[in-house]
Amino acid sequence: MTDTFQSSSPIYSQLADRINRKILRGELQPGDKLPSVREMAIQSNVNPNTVQRTYRELEGMNIVETKRGQGTFVTENQEILTEMRERLKEEEISQFVKGMYDMGYADEEIEVGLNKFLQEKKGDSEQ
């Protein structure tokens, strides 16, 4: 079993999220073919119906296109991808900040802390 899922949110949306990230990361390029529903079902160890639903979800976001008889493909529409990229980025940031607020950290602490972290990271890799 390569993949495991948490019990909290529905599997189909967790799976959609993973594929999303693969596309964002460039692991899946525009025009690339996704594995067939059956194949993906085996790979992810879930029911084909679940994969079906995942693909439908991604299609609703215009991130993939289904061509009958051929399979499911990453959209070639770059605009949608960059848009999604931007949206997901903001979402992640929002979630991060919310979490930090929740633990009582102030804006400045977060900002300064992040910059410091990135600086140190840069310093490390230049060594």
- Chain residues binding DNA by CB under 7 A are 5, 10-13, 34, 36-39, 46-50, 52-53, 55-56, 59, 66, 68-72
Nearer to a copy of itself, 76 or 109 (CB): 109
Calculate the CA dihedral of residues 32, 73, 89, 117 and round it to 10 degrees.
-30
SS3 assignment, position 79: helix
DSSP symbol at 5: -
Q: Which stretch binds a copy of itself (CB under 8 A): 17-25, 29-37, 38-46, 75-83?
A: 17-25
First-residue to last-residue Cα distance in the chain: 39
**Interface residue with a copy of itself, options 38, 39, 45, 60 (CB under 8 A):** 60
**Interface residue with a copy of itself, options 12, 19, 24, 72 (CB under 8 A):** 24
b/e code 34-66 from CB counts within 10 Å (16+ = b): beebeebbeebebeeebbebbbebbeeeebbbe
**Interface residue with a copy of itself, options 13, 38, 42, 93 (CB under 8 A):** 93
Q: How many residues belong to the site for a copy of itself (CB under 8 A)?
A: 34
Tokens linked to 5:
């899922």
Amino acid identity, position 109 = E
Nearer to a copy of itself, 10 or 39 (CB): 10
- 61 near a copy of itself, rule: CB under 8 A: no
**Interface residue with a copy of itself, options 12, 15, 25, 68 (CB under 8 A):** 25
